[in-house]
């Protein structure tokens, strides 16, 4: 018998339904045990490396490799790899998805058009996994490095016909009753809107240091005007890791369970910029965050972590120019993002030594000539020239500034993680995750409604 994704989902639903029937009169979560590990999770952590196609996880392995050892060391991605996923959107948008359509698929199990925020091709709302979790009494939260009203978090929490309607999306988050929202986006949340959140019981945080003192959920933390700082320029801050740790801590207070979305948003943004040094720093912070969640899963055997990418960005190539080389020393030596280096070069008459210091290598005469010409044309041209020098020195290639349609990888750990083994489509991932929501909670809701009807 071939175990197709549909059959996997059916088996999961059957298993969950049987468990629910057995536990229908039990107030505890419907978790049966295999040894000491439940086969259905109480908590689900969904982690998305935005734009993180397979070349990103491979390049990260080499980026982190210890050159003094004979072996190439595994990373957390290698350790957790279980399968792959296709990412294409609804037919109307062809084969190459954007983040909105991909997030809609992952959040709802329904394909839609590029730009859609959890609405179908007729622009009708589709129920998300977060909405279903909330209806079942679970807590929900997000921790992202983009603005919290960006495409991916928005598609998990709310609905809109266009991802570009940032102000509308920000206002709509007020009605989602999401327990924890952490990321950037102050620009889209004026004081009047923040006061509305506070009136609904939310604690508003604008300073990242305030995160340490929060002990109760119902929190909205906006720690940047738009995106959080690039990890390469914010070394040691580990903002995504810390937001995720705090979200886990706060959401764990709900004994019925939680669903948490974590997004390494800026991997995609670095890919769009064709910026390998910045991309690897973002990958490093996302990997650190995976390890935070993996540790939580080991300590809480009722928690499933599911990790994937929404799509691939940039067409990253490990090796270029017909050379069988990829020089990670160059990438590891870059101290700041190219836009910061470019900015510094415009403000310093001694710019050549400044650029060499930040890049970690001495510029040759051809490179000096290229940058001298670029510097006269402004910061954007200078930044592009710096990135091209890094690419040439490291033998990094790119095929596009946009997305590609290649399959992405799937990583998982915890109860029911084997459900995601092998190939699947992104809507299969969503349907499998939703099938794992606590079925006994549905029975409790139905029982309560029936009792109320009888009493009335």
Residues 374, 291, single domain; the answer is: no
Query: What would the pLDDT profile of 182-237 be if each residue is shown by its tens digit?
Result: 999 999 999 999 999 999 999 999 999 999 999 999 999 999 999 999 999 999 99
Please report where in the chains the tokens 């990438």 appear, as a residue. Answer: 331
Residues 193, 72, single domain; the answer is: yes
Mean pLDDT, the chain, integer: 91
DSSP string covering 94-122: -S---HHHHHHHHHHS----TT-BSB-TT
Asked if the structure places residue 327 within a domain, the reply is yes
Residue 399, pLDDT > 50, answer: yes
Using DSSP's 3-state secondary structure scheme, residue 34 falls into: strand
- Of residues 31 and 409, more confidence is placed in 409
Domain boundary among 370, 397, 424: 397
- Tell me what percent of the residues of the chain surpass a pLDDT of 70: 88
- Number of domains present in the structure of the chain: 2
Contact 127, 136 (CB under 8 A): no
Residue 456, pLDDT > 70, answer: no
Residues 290, 369, single domain; the answer is: no
Residues 180, 282, single domain; the answer is: yes
Residues 290, 325, single domain; the answer is: no
pLDDT-based confidence at residue 1 (cuts at 50, 70, 90):
very low
Residues 297, 337, single domain; the answer is: no
- Which CATH number covers residue 175? 3.40.720.10
Residues 328, 272, single domain; the answer is: no
Residue 333, pLDDT > 60, answer: yes
Instruction: Kindly state the tokens that stand for 202.
Output: 């939310």
Query: What would the pLDDT profile of 138-171 be if each residue is shown by its tens digit?
Result: 999 999 999 999 999 999 999 999 999 999 999 9
Asked if the structure places residue 30 within a domain, the reply is no
User: Cα separation of 441 and 456, whole Å?
Assistant: 23
Residues 205, 287, single domain; the answer is: yes
pLDDT-based confidence at residue 37 (cuts at 50, 70, 90):
low
- Which CATH number covers residue 376? 1.10.60.40
End-to-end CA distance of the chain: 50
The domain containing residue 113 runs over which residues?
Answer: 42-315
Find the catalytic residue in 59, 93, 99, 112: 99
At 50 the pLDDT is 98
Contact 41, 33 (CB under 8 A): no
User: Cα separation of 339 and 381, whole Å?
Assistant: 10
Query: What would the pLDDT profile of 13-25 be if each residue is shown by its tens digit?
Result: 444 443 333 333 3
pLDDT-based confidence at residue 348 (cuts at 50, 70, 90):
confident
Asked if the structure places residue 140 within a domain, the reply is yes
Asked if the structure places residue 131 within a domain, the reply is yes
Instruction: Kindly state the tokens that stand for 451.
Output: 């009792």
Contact 404, 315 (CB under 8 A): yes
Q: Any idea what DSSP says for residue 386? A: H
Contact 41, 428 (CB under 8 A): no
Residues 326, 204, single domain; the answer is: no
Query: What would the pLDDT profile of 258-317 be if each residue is shown by its tens digit?
Result: 999 999 999 999 999 999 999 999 999 999 999 999 999 999 999 999 999 999 999 999
Domain boundary among 315, 344, 364: 315
Asked if the structure places residue 1 within a domain, the reply is no
Asked if the structure places residue 94 within a domain, the reply is yes
Instruction: Kindly state the tokens that stand for 343.
Output: 């900015």
b/e map 326-344, b = 16+ CB within 10 Å: bbbebbbbbebbbbbbbeb
Residue 12, pLDDT > 60, answer: no
At 38 the pLDDT is 66
Domain boundary among 299, 315, 331: 315
Contact 143, 265 (CB under 8 A): no
Query: What would the pLDDT profile of 67-118 be if each residue is shown by its tens digit?
Result: 999 999 999 999 999 999 999 999 999 999 999 999 999 999 999 999 999 9
Residues 126, 227, single domain; the answer is: yes
Residues 158, 262, single domain; the answer is: yes
DSSP string covering 407-420: -EEEEEESTTGGGG
Residues 94, 214, single domain; the answer is: yes
Say whether 58 is catalytic.
no
Count CB neighbours of 400 within 10 A: 15
Task: Tell me the C-alpha to C-alpha distance, in Å, between residue 208 and each of 91, 122, 273.
Answer: 42, 40, 26
Asked if the structure places residue 354 within a domain, the reply is yes
DSSP string covering 126-189: ---HHHHHHHTT-EEEEEEEEETTSHHHHHHH--BS-TT-HHHHHHHGGGS--SEEEEE-GGG-
User: Cα separation of 143 and 131, whole Å?
Assistant: 17
Asked if the structure places residue 429 within a domain, the reply is no
User: Cα separation of 396 and 67, whole Å?
Assistant: 19
């Amino acid at each position: 018998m071939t175990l197709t994704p549909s059959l996997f989902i059916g088996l999961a639903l059957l298993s969950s339904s049987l468990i629910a029937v057995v536990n229908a009169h039990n107030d505890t979560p419907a978790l049966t045990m295999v040894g000491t590990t439940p086969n259905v999770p109480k908590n689900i952590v969904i982690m998305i490396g935005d734009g993180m196609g397979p070349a990103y996880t491979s390049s990260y392995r080499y980026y982190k490799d210890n050159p003094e050892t004979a072996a190439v060391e595994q990373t957390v991605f290698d350790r957790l790899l279980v399968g792959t996923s296709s990412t294409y959107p609804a037919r109307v948008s062809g084969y190459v998805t954007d983040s909105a359509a991909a997030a809609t698929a992952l959040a709802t199990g329904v394909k839609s058009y590029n730009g859609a925020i959890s609405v179908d091709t007729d622009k009708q709302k589709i129920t998300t996994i977060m909405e279903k979790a909330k209806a079942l009494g679970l807590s929900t939260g997000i921790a992202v490095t983009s603005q919290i009203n960006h495409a991916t978090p928005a598609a998990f929490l709310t609905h809109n016909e266009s991802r570009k309607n940032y102000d509308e999306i920000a206002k709509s988050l007020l009605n989602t009753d999401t327990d924890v929202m952490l990321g950037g986006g102050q620009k889209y949340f004026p004081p009047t809107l923040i006061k509305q959140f506070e009136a609904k019981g939310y604690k508003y945080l604008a300073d990242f240091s305030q995160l340490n003192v929060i002990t109760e959920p119902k929190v909205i933390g906006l720690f940047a005007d738009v995106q959080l700082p690039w990890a390469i320029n914010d070394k040691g801050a580990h903002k995504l890791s810390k937001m995720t740790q705090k979200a886990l801590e706060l959401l764990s207070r709900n004994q019925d369970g939680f669903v948490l979305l974590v997004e390494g948003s800026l991997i995609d943004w670095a890919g769009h910029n064709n910026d390998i040094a910045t991309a690897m720093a973002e990958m490093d912070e996302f990997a650190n965050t995976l390890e935070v969640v993996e540790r939580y899963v080991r300590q809480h055997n009722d928690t499933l972590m599911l990790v994937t990418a929404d799509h691939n960005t940039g067409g990253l190539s490990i090796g270029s120019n017909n050379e069988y080389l990829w020089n990670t020393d160059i990438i590891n030596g870059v101290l700041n993002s190219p836009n910061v280096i470019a900015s510094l070069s415009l403000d310093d008459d001694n710019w050549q030594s400044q650029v060499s210091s930040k890049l970690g290598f001495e510029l040759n005469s051809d490179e000096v000539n290229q940058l001298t010409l670029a510097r006269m044309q402004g910061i954007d041209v200078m930044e592009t020239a710096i990135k091209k020098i890094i690419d040439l020195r490291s033998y990094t290639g790119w095929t596009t500034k946009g997305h590609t349609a290649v399959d992405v990888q799937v990583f998982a750990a915890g109860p029911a993680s084997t459900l995601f083994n092998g190939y699947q489509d992104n809507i299969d991932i969503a349907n499998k995750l939703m099938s794992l929501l606590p079925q006994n909670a549905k029975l409790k809701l139905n029982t309560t409604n029936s009792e109320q009807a009888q009493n009335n």
